[in-house]
Amino acid sequence: MAFELPDLPYAHDALASKGMSQETMEYHHDIHHNAYVVNGNKLIEGTEWEGKSLEDIITGTYDAGAVAQNGIFNNASQHWNHMQFWEMMGPGENKMPGELEAAIKDSFGTVEAFKDQFSAAGAGQFGSGWCWLVKDADGGLKVTKTENGVNPLCFGQTALLGCDVWEHSYYIDFRNKRPAYLANFLDNLVNWENVASRLG
């Protein structure tokens, strides 16, 4: 199945008042995300992965022992990562549902402790990558970080929340202040209803 760039679930300027500018969204969604779609389609054409689901391509091409992942994986995984990322943010009030708050407190003690761990993972990811709140196979929640385009699918985990810490996600709005970007993401941008819906 060919990759397709999804429309944003809100206008390009919908998050501007919350710290993610229209310019960032135009570069990040329309150029960077689209590049993963275009390049991914070129790379899978005529291969065994053409016609496979995006998730199957990601888990099938991930090489746990590789120093650097292959081009098909990189573009497929970044396409998936960004599709989740747009949905995980929103322009609304974004209050955390009780079910999610209870699950977070069960695993981390407090919501603030979770936010501290999540921010530390994102700030501590050397170079490009992502930080995640995931649900493990045993049902417990934990914070992880991954390099480049690697994501929780590679480890059999469910992605509840992910934050892109590649510089193109924050440099226009925050320059090199990644911790400030992460704090703003958690406090103002996350669509907690979407996160809660992923608990299953």
Burial group, residue 142, by CB count within 10 angstroms (0-12, 13-18, 19+):
middle
56 is in an annotated binding site: no
168 is in an annotated binding site: yes
82 is in an annotated binding site: yes
Q: Which residues contact 193 (CB under 8 A, 6 or more apart)?
A: 90, 92, 94, 97
Evaluated on CA atoms 107, 109, 111, 112, the torsion sign reads: negative
Tell me if 69 sits within 8 A of 63, measured CB to CB.
yes
Element (H, E) at 145: strand 141-147
Tell me if 114 sits within 8 A of 36, measured CB to CB.
no
Q: Which residues contact 74 (CB under 8 A, 6 or more apart)?
A: 36, 148, 149
Annotated binding site: 28, 82, 164, 168
Annotated binding site for Mn(2+): 28, 82, 164, 168
